[in-house]
Amino acid sequence: MHRDRSSPIAGLRRPESVLVVVYTDAGKILLLNRIMPFEFWQSVTGSLDPGESSLHAARRELEEETGLTEEGDLIDCGLTRTFEIDLRWRDRYPPGVTENREHEWRYRVCAPIDVIANPAEHGAWKWLDIDEAIDAVWSWTNREALENLRQDLS
């Protein structure tokens, strides 16, 4: 699904995003294989559109990236992290923007289920045990979110 990314500078992203960890109580984690600008594994992520709340962005990104809508429970972790925007994405933001603020969310499902990955963004998906998922993800914020979840599930 394509949407307008309009911002004060047309077409550039707002430096605020969501990270949505999809998981089961048994510690299975859904990871998506991002294909651009390089290949890596991640949870559901995405930038907030202008005027959009993190709740709406979490629901929208979850549906866009996995097709999931009502299968589980969306939970606001109440955590945000600020990180430096990787140079490979910096041109997607207004000039001079170097940091992004990320809101952490979780999406709890009863058991691993099939998803429909957005082929424009992700080449594959898989469910992993939480320790394997922690080792597989690329970003430190995703790893930290998974480590927090592991602690909460134990």
Q: What is the pLDDT of residues 65-100, one digit of tens each?
A: 999 999 999 999 999 999 999 998 899 999 999 999
Question: Which residue is associated with the tokens 């109580």?
Answer: 25
Q: Rounding to the nearest 10 degrees, give the CA dihedral for residues 107, 82, 90, 134.
A: -50
The per-residue pLDDT for range 97-120, each reduced to its tens digit, is 999 999 999 999 999 999 999 898
What is the gyration radius of the CA atoms in the chain, in angstroms? Answer: 15
* CATH H-level superfamily of 16-153: Nucleoside Triphosphate Pyrophosphohydrolase (3.90.79.10)
CA angle 78-19-77, nearest 5°?
Answer: 20
Instruction: Report how far apart, in Å, the C-alpha atoms of 50 and of each of 12, 28, 82, 90 are.
Output: 10, 33, 18, 18
pLDDT of 7 strictly over 80: no
The per-residue pLDDT for range 35-67, each reduced to its tens digit, is 988 899 999 999 999 999 999 999 999 999 999
Q: Where are the domains of the chain?
A: 16-153
Instruction: Report how far apart, in Å, the C-alpha atoms of 95 and of each of 9, 21, 81, 89, 101 are.
Output: 9, 30, 21, 12, 16
For the entire predicted model, the pTM comes to: 0.90
pLDDT for position 4 = 43
Poorest-confidence range of 8-17, 21-30, 122-131? Answer: 8-17
- Stated length of the chain: 154
CA distance 52 to 45: 15
The per-residue pLDDT for range 112-144, each reduced to its tens digit, is 999 999 898 999 999 999 999 999 999 999 999
pLDDT of 10 strictly over 80: no
pLDDT for position 63 = 96
Q: In this structure, how many other beta carbons lie within 10 angstroms of the beta carbon of residue 42?
A: 19
pLDDT for position 1 = 38
